[in-house]
Amino acid sequence: MLHFHKGAPFQGEHVERGSIGIFPGVFNPVTRAHLALVRASIEQYTLRQVVFLLPTSFPHKEYSDTGFENRILLLQAALAEDERCAVASSQAGLFYEIAAEVSEYYPLNSQLFFLCGRDAAERIVNWNYDGALSFAQQLEKFELLVASRDGVYQPPPALKKHIHTVHLSPEWNLISASGFRRAILQNQNWERFVSPEVARIIRQRGIYDYVSTPSDFGKR
């Protein structure tokens, strides 16, 4: 079940169906590159709304660096003025499970698009879905929008019609959550990685006053 922390889905029998973006991530923290990907996706694929989706828990570890509540707070701050974006959380893990949950909150037959980066797309497409739907079967329920960070993702030919590129400026290649955390650890300027609204809350609440380990650097 989804829990909405900001925004609300378009519901009701008189609401027209549209294209809905789903952006799952750990958002540690939400960065300017995350926001750029979502805004480019909305413009390039005419999405009616994008749902930033944070997992309520991880299967084999706890939240590190900063907890679930703080990440929700930063997402709310980053998106406060953008009515096209919602913030939600879920216990679902696989994309087809998330898609099933999201579809319950939107008009019937709304088209669903998952947003991700190139590295995430490679993991998702090549993941061993032993005992679950294959990724080709999952793509019958949604499509994939992949950011052109550090190059354009080239999907397998059989999946190509369901996987699309979101074109981003190369400047966003240098902005990531791992880069933010590295700047914190090295006492460097970290504010360039996040929006002013997010930076203000981080400072006010001391959310990243210390980061115990760089082990989570790989997650954007």
Check whether the bond before 55 is cis (ω within 30° of 0). Answer: no
Residue 219 lies in a domain: no
Q: Which residue has the higher pLDDT, 65 or 38?
A: 38
Residue 212 lies in a domain: no
Pull the structure tokens for residue 209: 């006053």
pLDDT at 66: 87
Q: Which of 50, 51, 143, 55 is nearest to 92 (CA)?
A: 55
Domain total for the chain?
Answer: 1
Residue 218 lies in a domain: no
Residue 53 lies in a domain: yes
* Mean pLDDT on 52-81: 87
Could you give the dihedral angle defined by the CA atoms of residues 90, 94, 95 and 96, in that order, rounded to the nearest 10 degrees? -100
Domain of residue 113 covers: 3-205
Residue 217 lies in a domain: no
pLDDT at 219: 45
CATH value at residue 200:
3.40.50.620
8 A C-beta contact, residue 114 and residue 144? yes
Residues 151-181 have pLDDT tens digits of 899 999 999 999 999 999 999 999 999 999 9
* Mean pLDDT on 125-154: 92
- Amino acid identity of residue 205, one-letter, is R
Residue 210 lies in a domain: no
Residues 6+ apart with CB under 8 A from 52: 23, 25, 27, 30, 34, 38, 75, 79, 85, 86, 87, 88
pLDDT at 131: 79
131-133-138 Cα angle (round to 5): 160
Which residue bears the tokens 């029998």? 13
Residue 73 lies in a domain: yes
pLDDT at 17: 59
Average pLDDT score over the chain: 89
Residues 180-219 have pLDDT tens digits of 999 998 999 999 999 999 999 999 999 998 654 444 434 4
Residue 85 lies in a domain: yes
Residues 93-135 have pLDDT tens digits of 889 999 999 999 988 889 999 999 999 999 999 999 887 889 9
pTM above 0.85, yes or no: yes
